[in-house]
Structure 1
Amino acid sequence: MSRRKKTSPAEDVVDLIALLPWYVGVILALAGYLLLHRIAIAPLPSALGPGALGNVMVGTMGRGLATAGQYIVPILCLAGAAISAWRRHARRSLMDNVTRSDAPDILDDMSWREFEILVGEGFRLQGYQVAENFEAGPDDGIDLTLRKNGEKYLVQCKQWRAFKVGVPVVRELYGVMTAKGAVGGFVVTSGRFTPEAEAFASGRNLRLLDGPQLHRLLKQARGSASARPDDGNRAGQATNAAPQAAKTAAPSCPRCAQPMVRRTARKGVNAGQEFWGCSSYPRCRGTA
């Protein structure tokens, strides 16, 4: 896929910040302002001798740059943070729309950029770290770079509505994997693959995902991610239930060490009340 060309270093900075979580951009904005503001308000050294004039000029220039930078740097960082937050919201909204729909052509009605975002979010939900390719110029066909357990995987996305992905695309990705040291690769399409492409990928560390397979994979990933909080709640409930079970566990008889059972007093001042009695009663009359 073609990439948007950048026009200035400031845009490069914004794009770099946008790759980070949005809160990191906010932290960088605050830290940048505090640091540059401190430099901007620092007093200039006095020119006491001939050699000190150069220091004064350098200090004046640094103070001027810090005065402007204390506003420019936070603005760039906040812009990147806003883009990061928007992308996160867009990814989740796109994922929700796709996984809740049963329409067979749901993947055909989106742009190639939305398709890449959707695929990336699906891999994120499976525990991969996803880096999207924002570089201008040739990209070797790589749209996403995945990392998991210290290993690298490459992903090529093909948003083709009317064509089948042939073996040249799969063979190209396999060559790039070898050149870049990736342990595996994925070719993902909204359409289908030719039998030749499937035959080439068979037996290699390549996985081909067509439209129906991708749709099922996204639903499974979304369901697994939604179930994790519930699993945590169930684990917490089990943890809380353990002490209660321990409290109600039958104690051992203090006389013969046999397990005790709950009994109900039938007469006397404690009639109607429960107590622990030895299971060997009447041979043993131990109580607790």
Structure 2
Amino acid sequence: MARRKQSLFEDVIELTSKLPWWVGVVLAAIAYVILHPIATREIAEVVAFGKIGGMVGAQFGKTFAMIGQYLLPAAFLSGAAMSAYGRYTRRALQEQVAASPDRSALDDMSWQQFEALVGEAFRRKGYAVAETGGGGADGGIDLALKKEGETFLVQCKQWKATKVSVSTVRELYGVMAAKGATGGFVVTSGVFTDNARAFAAGRNITLMDGKALHALIRGVNVPGKAASVPPVYVTTGAPFCPVCQSRMAKRKAKNGANAGNEFWGCSRYPDCRGRRPA
């Protein structure tokens, strides 16, 4: 369905709604402070014929300022209100799911709520989150994340029964390459096929099923406990934990079939036991 053409007023509201609410309030104040003096300024009567053009321009600017001194602040404040409400609803969703003993709460929401929830979970892990809306020229990307100068792309799939196939992961990988992203996430309330997991392995794509997402959401409100752990070294560009999205640290297995082999373990161990192959 084609997107309805919006007015400039609606565009300003939409843009402001994607910013922190206080930014909209500041912009409203700045717009009024700049435009009000122009709107109330007296325009001198024309004496010389050659100055008529300047008077017309000044009159046009005054007319625009008279309207804009109220219209622009109203648009900015409307966007700020939408931003504040969106922030409130995302927090409420996160707290609702975090309080749930299992991931069933993920199945009882719309795809818009699911996308907002995923964005809030990443935001609370220190990412700067931009909601792209999915579809269109962005290749189905729903969220763009920034952290420590690196870009990560996210596809959200709120599928309650169907498994997410390898085609979705391939699509994300193609967009990552085109945009030069460091990594990506496919997040679903369901599960992934074996082919999807096999394709993601080694490509810096994290697949988060409903269980992993629920663990991430529940973990963001739980402060890490001080624990005595063996010394570890963290390398530049260490990957992020597939469970809680903290930075990982390289460790050596001390026992078992992999004794002596290195692996990536979550820096929040033992609170989080996420790991990746080195």
Query: Do residues 156 (structure 1) and 155 (structure 2) align?
Result: yes
How many residues are paired up? 225
* Superposed displacement of residue 6, structure 1: 4.9
Matches within 5 A, 1:112-127: 112-127=111-126
Whether contact under 8 Å (1:4, 1:134) holds in the other structure is no
Query: Do residues 165 (structure 1) and 164 (structure 2) align?
Result: yes
Bigger drift between 207-216 and 8-17 goes to: 8-17
* Superposed displacement of residue 138, structure 1: 4.2
Whether contact under 8 Å (2:140, 2:155) holds in the other structure is yes
Q: Which residue of 2 aligns with 1:63?
A: 62
Whether contact under 8 Å (1:6, 1:136) holds in the other structure is no
**How much identity, in percent, do the aligned residues show?**
51
- Higher relative helix content: 1
Q: Which residue of 1 aligns with 2:48?
A: 49
Query: Do residues 91 (structure 1) and 90 (structure 2) align?
Result: yes
Q: Quickly say closer, same or farther: Cα 1:4–1:50, change in 2 above 3 A.
A: closer
Q: Quickly say closer, same or farther: Cα 1:143–1:5, change in 2 above 3 A.
A: farther
CA RMSD of aligned residues (A): 1.8
Query: Do residues 24 (structure 1) and 42 (structure 2) align?
Result: no
TM-score after normalising by structure 1: 0.75
Q: Quickly say closer, same or farther: Cα 1:75–1:134, change in 2 above 3 A.
A: farther
* Residues in 1 aligned to 2:216 and 2:83: alpha-carbon distance in whole angstroms: 25
Runs of 5+ consecutive residues of structure 2 not aligned to the other structure: 226-278
- Structure 2: which amino acid aligns with 1:67? M
Bigger drift between 143-152 and 215-224 goes to: 215-224
* Superposed displacement of residue 181, structure 1: 0.5
Q: Which residue of 2 aligns with 1:185?
A: 184
Deviations 1:19-51 (A, max 9, x none): 111111111101101111010011102211011
Query: Do residues 141 (structure 1) and 143 (structure 2) align?
Result: no
Whether contact under 8 Å (1:18, 1:84) holds in the other structure is yes
SS in 2 for 1:130: strand
Whether contact under 8 Å (1:5, 1:136) holds in the other structure is no
Deviations 1:179-198 (A, max 9, x none): 00101000000000000100
Whether contact under 8 Å (2:119, 2:143) holds in the other structure is yes
* Superposed displacement of residue 105, structure 1: 1.4
Runs of 5+ consecutive residues of structure 1 not aligned to the other structure: 229-288
Q: Quickly say closer, same or farther: Cα 1:4–1:102, change in 2 above 3 A.
A: farther
Q: Quickly say closer, same or farther: Cα 1:67–1:78, change in 2 above 3 A.
A: same
Runs of 4+ in 1 over 4 A off after TM superposition: 2-6
Q: Quickly say closer, same or farther: Cα 1:114–1:6, change in 2 above 3 A.
A: farther
* Superposed displacement of residue 61, structure 1: 1.1
Structure number with greater Rg is 1
TM-score after normalising by structure 2: 0.77
Deviations 1:246-284 (A, max 9, x none): xxxxxxxxxxxxxxxxxxxxxxxxxxxxxxxxxxxxxxx
